[in-house]
Protein backbone atom coordinates (compact mmCIF):
# COMPACT_ATOMS: atom_id res chain seq x y z
CA UNK A 1 0.00 0.00 0.00
CA UNK A 2 1.28 3.45 -0.82
CA UNK A 3 1.33 6.43 1.46
CA UNK A 4 -0.06 9.50 -0.27
CA UNK A 5 1.05 12.78 1.23
CA UNK A 6 -2.10 14.88 1.04
CA UNK A 7 -0.45 18.05 2.34
CA UNK A 8 3.31 17.59 1.92
CA UNK A 9 5.51 19.52 4.29
CA UNK A 10 9.01 20.92 4.14
CA UNK A 11 10.74 17.73 5.33
CA UNK A 12 8.62 15.58 2.98
CA UNK A 13 9.77 17.54 -0.05
CA UNK A 14 13.40 17.39 1.06
CA UNK A 15 13.21 13.63 1.51
CA UNK A 16 11.46 13.13 -1.82
CA UNK A 17 13.98 15.29 -3.68
CA UNK A 18 16.84 13.14 -2.41
CA UNK A 19 14.98 9.88 -3.10
CA UNK A 20 14.17 10.90 -6.68
CA UNK A 21 17.76 11.76 -7.57
CA UNK A 22 18.94 8.46 -6.07
CA UNK A 23 16.33 6.65 -8.17
CA UNK A 24 17.44 8.60 -11.23
CA UNK A 25 21.04 7.51 -10.69
CA UNK A 26 19.95 3.88 -10.34
CA UNK A 27 17.98 4.11 -13.57
CA UNK A 28 20.95 5.71 -15.35
CA UNK A 29 23.23 2.87 -14.23
CA UNK A 30 20.68 0.41 -15.60
CA UNK A 31 20.38 2.16 -18.99
CA UNK A 32 16.86 3.38 -18.31
CA UNK A 33 17.56 6.85 -19.63
CA UNK A 34 14.03 8.21 -20.03
CA UNK A 35 13.10 7.52 -16.42
CA UNK A 36 16.48 8.74 -15.23
CA UNK A 37 16.05 12.05 -17.02
CA UNK A 38 12.50 12.55 -15.77
CA UNK A 39 13.25 11.72 -12.13
CA UNK A 40 16.40 13.83 -12.13
CA UNK A 41 14.49 16.95 -13.11
CA UNK A 42 11.68 16.06 -10.77
CA UNK A 43 14.18 16.02 -7.89
CA UNK A 44 14.87 19.70 -8.52
CA UNK A 45 11.16 20.47 -8.67
CA UNK A 46 10.73 18.82 -5.28
CA UNK A 47 13.77 20.62 -3.85
CA UNK A 48 12.36 23.99 -4.93
CA UNK A 49 9.02 23.10 -3.39
CA UNK A 50 10.85 22.30 -0.14
CA UNK A 51 12.35 25.78 -0.26
CA UNK A 52 8.92 27.28 -0.76
CA UNK A 53 7.57 25.36 2.25
CA UNK A 54 10.45 26.59 4.38
CA UNK A 55 9.63 30.18 3.41
CA UNK A 56 6.01 30.10 4.63
CA UNK A 57 4.84 30.00 8.25
CA UNK A 58 2.91 26.73 7.95
CA UNK A 59 5.96 24.94 6.43
CA UNK A 60 3.69 22.96 4.10
CA UNK A 61 2.43 23.06 0.57
CA UNK A 62 -0.98 24.72 0.22
CA UNK A 63 -3.96 23.06 -1.43
CA UNK A 64 -4.19 23.89 -5.12
CA UNK A 65 -7.31 25.99 -4.71
CA UNK A 66 -5.49 28.33 -2.30
CA UNK A 67 -2.52 29.32 -4.45
CA UNK A 68 -1.61 30.74 -7.77
CA UNK A 69 -0.47 28.48 -10.59
CA UNK A 70 3.32 28.81 -10.29
CA UNK A 71 3.35 26.41 -7.34
CA UNK A 72 1.49 23.71 -9.23
CA UNK A 73 3.25 24.02 -12.56
CA UNK A 74 6.27 21.90 -13.28
CA UNK A 75 8.28 24.92 -14.41
CA UNK A 76 11.62 25.05 -12.61
CA UNK A 77 12.15 28.74 -13.37
CA UNK A 78 8.71 29.64 -12.03
CA UNK A 79 9.23 27.53 -8.94
CA UNK A 80 12.58 29.19 -8.35
CA UNK A 81 10.83 32.58 -8.36
CA UNK A 82 8.35 31.55 -5.64
CA UNK A 83 10.79 29.35 -3.70
CA UNK A 84 12.10 32.07 -1.42
CA UNK A 85 15.71 31.43 -2.50
CA UNK A 86 15.86 33.32 -5.81
CA UNK A 87 18.21 36.08 -4.65
CA UNK A 88 20.65 33.73 -2.91
CA UNK A 89 20.46 31.26 -5.80
CA UNK A 90 21.31 33.97 -8.32
CA UNK A 91 24.15 35.26 -6.13
CA UNK A 92 25.66 31.76 -6.19
CA UNK A 93 25.26 31.55 -9.97
CA UNK A 94 27.20 34.80 -10.28
CA UNK A 95 30.03 33.40 -8.17
CA UNK A 96 30.44 30.16 -10.11
CA UNK A 97 30.59 29.54 -13.83
CA UNK A 98 29.88 25.85 -13.13
CA UNK A 99 26.65 26.70 -11.32
CA UNK A 100 25.64 28.75 -14.36
CA UNK A 101 26.47 25.92 -16.76
CA UNK A 102 24.69 23.38 -14.59
CA UNK A 103 21.57 25.55 -14.23
CA UNK A 104 21.49 25.99 -18.01
CA UNK A 105 21.43 22.20 -18.31
CA UNK A 106 18.71 21.73 -15.71
CA UNK A 107 16.40 24.74 -16.07
CA UNK A 108 14.57 23.63 -19.22
CA UNK A 109 13.46 20.28 -17.80
CA UNK A 110 9.69 19.90 -17.68
CA UNK A 111 7.19 17.22 -16.80
CA UNK A 112 6.46 16.54 -20.47
CA UNK A 113 9.73 14.62 -20.54
CA UNK A 114 7.83 11.74 -18.97
CA UNK A 115 6.42 11.11 -22.45
CA UNK A 116 9.77 11.40 -24.23
CA UNK A 117 12.29 8.80 -25.22
CA UNK A 118 15.59 9.97 -23.80
CA UNK A 119 19.04 8.70 -24.59
CA UNK A 120 22.11 8.50 -22.39
CA UNK A 121 23.32 11.75 -23.97
CA UNK A 122 20.20 13.41 -22.50
CA UNK A 123 20.10 11.76 -19.09
CA UNK A 124 23.74 11.74 -18.05
CA UNK A 125 24.31 15.52 -18.41
CA UNK A 126 21.25 16.50 -16.38
CA UNK A 127 22.13 14.07 -13.59
CA UNK A 128 25.71 15.33 -13.53
CA UNK A 129 24.48 18.95 -13.52
CA UNK A 130 22.29 18.11 -10.53
CA UNK A 131 24.68 15.94 -8.51
CA UNK A 132 28.20 16.77 -9.65
CA UNK A 133 30.66 19.39 -8.47
CA UNK A 134 28.71 22.63 -8.14
CA UNK A 135 25.55 20.62 -8.78
CA UNK A 136 22.20 22.33 -8.59
CA UNK A 137 20.79 20.03 -5.93
CA UNK A 138 23.82 20.68 -3.76
CA UNK A 139 23.31 24.41 -4.17
CA UNK A 140 19.63 24.19 -3.28
CA UNK A 141 20.43 22.05 -0.25
CA UNK A 142 22.66 24.86 1.09
CA UNK A 143 19.65 27.19 0.83
CA UNK A 144 16.89 24.96 2.15
Residue 57: predicted pLDDT? 66
pLDDT(4) > 60:
no
pLDDT(112) > 90:
no
Asked if residues 50 and 132 have their Cβ atoms less than 8 Å apart, the reply is: no
CA 43 to chain centre: 4
pLDDT(1) > 50:
no
Asked if residues 57 and 9 have their Cβ atoms less than 8 Å apart, the reply is: no
Q: What is the pTM of this model?
A: 0.87
pLDDT(86) > 50:
yes
Amino acid sequence: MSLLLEHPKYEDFKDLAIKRIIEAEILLKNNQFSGAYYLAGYSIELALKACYCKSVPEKSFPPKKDVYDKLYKHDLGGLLVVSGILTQFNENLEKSDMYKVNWETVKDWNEQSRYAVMLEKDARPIIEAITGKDGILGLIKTLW
